[in-house]
Structure 1
Amino acid sequence: MKGLSRFFTIGLVTAWYSSNIGVLLLNKYLLSNYGFKYPIFLTMCHMTACSLLSYVAISWMKMVPLQTIRSRVQFMKIAALSLVFCGSVVSGNVSLRYLPVSFNQAIGATTPFFTAVFAYIMTVKREAWITYVTLIPVVTGVIIASGVLGNAKGAVAVVVSILIFKNPVSVTGMLGYTLTVIGVVLYSEAKKRSK
């Protein structure tokens, strides 16, 4: 039973990586190479597919229990989160018309930095000093890589993007990208240890 559970988890992670990278590259192809001009329509398709597949996973496959909204406050928080997420996806899709996938992924790699900053601003909760120190290579790597390159998922997306879209890659860009990945790994480890 343990082996089956492990394979199921590996399958889910593989499906997530594949679908995430596939959506990113397909959006880039449609918006840049194919001349499709409707990034918000792509976002609508993305959100609709997520909703339908979530419903199937919850209601039919019973992967997680169905949860109900308990209050108006909870509904407002969920609605706000949904709007922010939708705005994020729309912005990402719009940016794919103008930016290489590698740069898009490098910007996405700054998520730990902005998460720490906004967590402090919103909750006035400070992290351990080591957490902030580990963000230095993340930000430095993105700054260096801005002249092409994200996180572990981004690594695959960048390589595939380079192969498909022939994005130019410099030694400096690869150095920055490598530093960013190291920073993300260090940040993740620091967060685990501080809990």
Structure 2
Amino acid sequence: MIPADGLPGHEASRAAWRRPKRSSPEMLYLLPAVLVWLVTGTTISSLNKWIFAVYNFRYPLLLSALHMLTAIVVDYGLLRLQLVGAVTAARGQLTAAAKLKVFLLSLTFCASIALGNVGLSYVQLSFAQMIYTTTPIFTLAISTLILGKQHHALKYTAMMPICLGASFSVMGELQFDQTGCLFVFAATMLRGVKSIQQILLQEEKIPSVFLLYLM
């Protein structure tokens, strides 16, 4: 069968594969955004712990509030500069159910950051990071309980080394603090809940920066 362009099917698909992909203006924003996300994501916990350890800062909830305020200011600037598309349409299309989902996600998001900062004021950063690695375990368990989703046995098998590593870290921590451990575990569990809530929000198709601004 010859397509309309006069080439056989396999030759047409091969020619299409050889055509260079058109560069999108979004790539100009995507690459810097990913780089900034990698840099800030790997340094935020270290900076938090540095503030607690070096300056003896004892107000983790205030620090969390400053985080939220900074997110609002940065997101508002991005929205005002119209660096995020389809925000105006999304603003007017939020249903009551969507607003409730965003509100619940906001509570989970803020609580996870606040509890994580409280935990960092008690425990070492390395100890907290080891516990944070168990987030996928909480995500799998919560998705099974709330969404009724059945996961492949290999997923649970892959979690076993993470569980063992976290257990050895807890048992071998020289500066173990029970209160800080509880706060960090609570923050980790809320991270898993947040992932499930974000999955439930995908059908609303809210732009990510606008969603963070609402949160």
TM-score bin (small chain): 0.5 to 0.7
Match of 1:130? 154
Q: Which moved more, 1:67-76 or 1:103-112?
A: 67-76
Alignment equivalent of 1:41, drawn from 62, 74, 79: 62
User: Against the structure 1 CA distance between its residues 141 and 10, is the aligned structure 2 distance closer, same or farther, given a 3 Å change threshold?
Assistant: farther
The TM-score with structure 1 as length reference comes to 0.67
8 Å Cα contact 1:27-1:96 kept in structure 2: yes
Q: CA deviation at 1:47?
A: 0.6
| Distance in structure 2 (CA, Å) of the matches to 1:70 and 1:8 | 26
Structure with more relative contact order (C-alpha pairs < 8 Å, separation 6 or more): 2
User: Against the structure 1 CA distance between its residues 123 and 58, is the aligned structure 2 distance closer, same or farther, given a 3 Å change threshold?
Assistant: same
8 Å Cα contact 1:31-1:97 kept in structure 2: yes
The one-letter amino acid paired with 1:141 is G
Is residue 99 of structure 1 aligned with residue 123 of structure 2? Answer: yes
Match of 2:44? 23
User: Against the structure 1 CA distance between its residues 90 and 133, is the aligned structure 2 distance closer, same or farther, given a 3 Å change threshold?
Assistant: same
Instruction: Output the aligned Cα RMSD.
Output: 2.4
State the structure with more CA Rg: 2
The one-letter amino acid paired with 2:101 is K
Gaps of 5+ in 2: 1-21, 176-215
8 Å Cα contact 1:39-1:93 kept in structure 2: yes
Q: Deviations over 1:78-120 (max 9, x none)?
A: 1111011101000011111111111111111101000000000
What is the number of residues matched between the two proteins?
A: 149
Alignment equivalent of 1:57, drawn from 65, 74, 78: 78
8 Å Cα contact 1:57-1:64 kept in structure 2: no
Q: Which moved more, 1:38-47 or 1:124-133?
A: 124-133
8 Å Cα contact 1:40-1:90 kept in structure 2: yes
Task: Tell me the percent identity.
Answer: 26
Gaps of 5+ in 1: 149-166, 168-195
Is residue 112 of structure 1 aligned with residue 133 of structure 2? Answer: no
